[in-house]
Each structure stands twice: as C-alpha cells, then as structure tokens.
Amino acid sequence: MDFDPYPDRRVVGTARVPGAPQKTTPPVPVKIIVAGGFGVGKTTTVGAISEISPLTTEAEMTLEAVGVDDPGPATAKTTTTIAMDFGCVTIDQTLKLYLFGTPGQSRFSFMWDDLVRGALGALVVVDTSRIDDCYPAVDYFERAGLPFVVGVNTFNGQLGYNLDEVRWALAIRDDVPVLQFDARYRASVRDALLVVLDQALDKAMRMRSS
C-alpha cells in the first residue's frame, strides 16, 4: 500500500509477518442497519441493493421485556438467537458498504451494541398496518445516538396512514426523516439509504466540529 486513504481510520491490531508477500488490502467496511418488525420487508430491502443475494448469520441479542407498568427487579432479560440477513455494495476497491437486516419484536426492546458500534445509521422499515412493531428499534437507535430514518414500505402502493400520522404515532424528533419507499426497487432503496447517509454526514460533521 503506497498511500493511506484513511488517515482518520487507523488500522490497529494488524500483525503482519515480516517479509510475507503483500496480500490484497481489504476495503474499509461501513455499515447501515435495516431494522423493523417481522415481515415488513427488511430482507427485500437488503436484497434490492446488495450485489450478493442476502446471506444469513445468527447472533445473540439481549432482549428486555418492555414492562412499562412494572419496572421492578423482575424486568426479564433474555438472550435470543436472531437471524440477520445481510448484503453488501462495493463502493470501490477501498470502501465497502454492508447492510444488516435485523428483526425486532414489539414486546421486547433489544440491545445489541455490536450491531450499532461503528454503524453509519439505520433505516427503520415500517408497515403501516403494524406501526408499533418498529417501536423497539426506534427506542434503541434514539438511546444509542445512532442516526436513523423511518422508511414506510409501500406494499402495493397502499399507505394505511400518511407520513405525518406515522411521525405522530412514533413520536420522533422533527429532524428524523420519515419517508416512503418501495423495498422491491433498487432506486427506491438507494434513495432511502441516501437519506440515512445524509443524517450520518450531519453527525460526522458535528463530531468533527466539537
């Protein structure tokens, strides 16, 4: 490698054998999370833009029962294996975007810090017939300070509610974009991801200037 394109992102913990032949330098990976309830179109979203057909990995997620009435010591934490779909988009030889589709359940809040660490942001996919399925994801990304965008997947062009109603139901901050997209179409998913990236850029600029 004759130049360092990412002076800010130093690679650490690389133990090269001295004198070993130069191997392909890996790309810098960045990731966006695609979250939402069951069957809202997460896998469809990932598959629409990924250059590989989505792969699945199983991982542990800590679930905490949402007990609004009873926040006592009995608040149950369980660990569940979840299946995550993921895909990728090669930006160029030195940069690769990963998309991780992760399920949520309405009665549990999930905590999985591996997932959000280093993530650019998240697209929360919503089916307007079951809006509350996405509450845990919204809660979690708000608490984690991760930029996110709410994407209402238009099943057959049908929107049960308009976007303002979705925003109201989710009680999200005004600066969180709520948009409409179609998970089956690459251009539509691309545009939704570009809005996520816009939010991520804002955060990166704020971090730099502080």
CA distance 154 to 148: 19
Are the C-beta atoms of residues 1 and 14 closer than 8 Å to each other? no
Is residue 188 near ligand GTP by the rule CB under 6 A? no
Residue 73 contacts other proteins per CB under 8 A: no
Q: Contacts with ligand GTP: how many residues (CB under 6 A)?
A: 17
Distance (Å, rounded) from C-alpha 167 to C-alpha 149? 11
**Amino acid residing at 101:** G
Which three-class secondary structure state does DSSP give residue 66? coil
Q: How far is the CB of 120 from ligand GTP (least distance, A)?
A: 20
Residue 75 sits in the site that holds other proteins (CB under 8 A) = no
Nearest CA among 177, 169, 171, 168 for reference residue 198: 177
Cα separation values, 167 from 76, 121, 139, 161, Å: 30, 18, 14, 10
User: Beta strand 55-65 with 108-111: parallel, antiparallel or unpaired?
Assistant: antiparallel
Binding marks (x or -) toward ligand GTP, 43..82, rule CB under 6 A?
xx--------------------------------------
Does position 43 interact with Mg ion (CB under 5 A)? The reply is yes
Q: Are 161 and 180 in contact (CB under 8 A)?
A: no
Q: List the interface residues with ligand GTP, window 98-157 (CB under 6 A).
A: 101, 103, 153-156
Contact stretch for other proteins (CB under 8 A) within 59-67, 136-144, 149-157, 177-185: 59-67
109 binds, among other proteins, Mg ion, ligand GTP, none (CB under 5 to 8 A by kind): none
Q: Which is nearer to ligand GTP, 184 or 203 (CB)?
A: 184
Does the footprint of other proteins cover residue 53 (CB under 8 A)?
A: no
Rule CB under 6 A: which residues touch ligand GTP? 36, 38-44, 101, 103, 153-156, 182-184
